[in-house]
Homo-oligomer: A and B are copies of this chain.
Amino acid sequence: MRPGDLGEFRLIERLRVVLGTAGASPGHGAVRLGIGDDAAVLAADPGREWVVTSDTLVEAVHFRRDWTSPVDLGWKALAVNVSDLGAMGATPLGALVTAAVPADLEVEWLEALYQGLGACAAEYGCPVVGGDTVRSPQGVMLTVSALGTLPAGAAVTRAGARPGDLICVTGTLGDSAAGLALLLAGRTAASDPEFAPLFAAHLRPRPPIRAAAGLACAGVTAMMDLSDGLASDLARLSERSGVGARVLEDRLPISLRARDAAEALGVDPAEWALRGGEDYELLFTVPPAAFHALPPLLAAFRVVATRIGALVAGERTLVREDGSEVALGEPAFTHFPP
C-alpha cells in the first residue's frame, strides 16, 4: 500500500495508532494535548504550559526556487510555525531550523534564506536557537520547529466549539491563493505592481499572532490558523468539535485586489477564499455574547475580524449568494491524494 492509497489524513491516523501510548495521549506524562491540533501542549510546572509545533517546506512540493526568493522562503518557513503557535494562543520563545540542501547549492542563497529567517525571528520575537544543516540528495527541504508558552489551561484547541457559536476569521481570505495564481500565470510584482500585496500575502505571510494571544483570553471557544483553506480547515475544526457549520458566501472577506486579480484571470474569487490555503489568518469560534468585545480588542492589534457564519448541530453547508445551500466540501490539498 502507498501513502496515496490512504490519503494524508488517514495515513496520519494510522501512524498515530502505531505509536499507541508513545503517541502522546493527553495525560501521558507531561502531555496536555498531542497529535492533531495546530501544536502540541506540554506541562511540567503548575501555572505554565509549553507549546511545540513543526512544519516542513519541500522544494517542488511547497515552493519553487525560481518563484520564491530565499529571503521570502526563510521568512515563510518560520512564519508558518509562528502561526501555529499563535493559533493555540501561545507566545513564541524560539525555533529550530533544519536546512537540507544539495551540495551544489550557492552558499549565498542559503545566507539569504537565513536573512529571511532572522527577519521573521526578529519580527515575532522567536529567535533561531539551533537546528541542523544536512546534505539533501535533491532539492531544498526546510523543517522548522517552534516552541512557545502560555498560562496553564489557556491553550485554545480546535475542539471547544459549540452549536450557536459564531464562526469568525481575521483579515481577508484568498489573497495568498490570488498571489500564487498570478505567479502561475507568469506575473510578478515587477510586471503587475498593483498586485504586490497579493504576492506578499503568498510569499511573506504575516500571521496575526499577538491578536491570537488576545483572542485566547477573550472567550473564543476554538481557534486554528488557516493554512489549507477555509473549507478544509473548518472541516477539521468542526469534526474535532463534533459540530456542523453554516457559512455565508457573501460574508467571506475578499479583498478588492483579490477580486481584481480574479477578474483578470477569469476565475471565481470565492474559490480562492474557500480552498486557496496559506492565508495564515485565524479561524475562530466565539459565543455571540462574547463577540461584541472583540472588535475593540482586535483594533489594538490592527486586526479586523469578520463573522462568516455560525456553528450548527447538523452538517457543514455553504449558503451561496443566491440563497441556495451546498455542502461545504473536503480538503482541496493533501500531500498524498487518494
Structural contact, B94 and A52, CB atoms closer than 8 A: yes
From B5, B40, B129, give the contact of A40 (CB < 8 A): B129
Structural contact, A128 and B19, CB atoms closer than 8 A: yes
Chain B binder among A108-116, A164-172, A186-194, A214-222: A108-116
- Chain A facing B: main interface SS: mixed
Name the interface residues of A120-177: CB closer than 8 Å to any CB of B: 121-122, 125, 127-139, 141, 143, 145, 147, 149
Q: How many residues of A contact B (CB 8 A)?
A: 86
CA distance A125 to B52 in the complex (A): 17
Chain B binder among A23-31, A247-255, A269-277, A306-314: A23-31
A118 contacts partner chain B, Cβ-Cβ < 8 Å: yes
Structural contact, B2 and A60, CB atoms closer than 8 A: no
Residues of B within 8 A of A137 (CB): 58-61, 138-139
CB distance from A269 to the nearest CB of B (A): 28
Structural contact, B6 and A107, CB atoms closer than 8 A: yes
Q: A137-B58, A137-B61 are in contact. Are A11 and B127 (CB under 8 A)?
A: no
- Which 3 pairs from chain A and chain B are nearest by CB? A40-B129, A22-B121, A22-B118
